[in-house]
Amino acid sequence: MSPIMNECVLIVDSNPGFCKRLAQACRAANYTVLAADSGERAFLILRHRQHQIGWLYSRAALPGLIDGWILADQYHQAYPSRPVIIAAHDTRLSARGDIVLKEPTVTVVSETIRHVIEGTQPARAAAPLGFSEHRRAA
């Protein structure tokens, strides 16, 4: 796939191994990757590089005061119609249409990112292998 504008993905995850593997998968798909291990660091990236970030993946629970839901709100200031991909321990509804993945694997997250960037919604189509683990938030 050839790179297009806004293929920069901000990955926010406090698990360094998960973050590294997801960043590798995204780079292998020709996406530019920025990574943060806390909500505070990610929030600063979103504030200062808002229009360079095309897509956001975040774990819902992060160390510190800023969680994935707050990051999603900040991201939606620049991209109100784009979903954020959020990994959570349980399913939670999102008024903005974010995609909530229940304890996903790196493969599930990377495939979800790819589907969202390519304009396909895995929850609306026949679910490919691995997508049974997520739920599209309303």
pLDDT of 129 > 80? The answer is no
Identity of the amino acid at 107: T
At residue 126, φ and ψ (nearest 5 deg) are -60, 130
Q: 111-127, pLDDT tens digit by residue?
A: 999 999 998 544 433 33
Q: 65-118, pLDDT tens digit by residue?
A: 999 999 999 999 999 999 999 999 987 777 788 999 999 999 999 999 999 999
Q: Which of 9-13, 45-49, 66-70 has the lowest mean pLDDT?
A: 45-49
Domains of the chain and CATH, by start: 8-136 (3.40.50.2300)
Mean pLDDT for the chain?
85
> Residue 36's beta-bridge partner residues?
12
pLDDT higher at 128 or 44: 44
Kindly indicate the confidence band of residue 26, based on its pLDDT and cuts at 50, 70 and 90: very high
Q: What is the pLDDT at residue 6?
A: 54
What is the rounded average pLDDT of the residues 34-40? 97
Residues 6+ apart with CB under 8 A from 5: 54
User: What percent of the chain has pLDDT above 70?
Assistant: 82
Q: Are strands 32-36 and 85-88 parallel, antiparallel or unpaired?
A: unpaired
Q: What is the pLDDT at residue 90?
A: 86
Q: What is the pLDDT at residue 22?
A: 99
Contact (Cβ atoms closer than 8 angstroms) between residue 109 and residue 101: yes
User: What percent of the chain has pLDDT above 90?
Assistant: 70
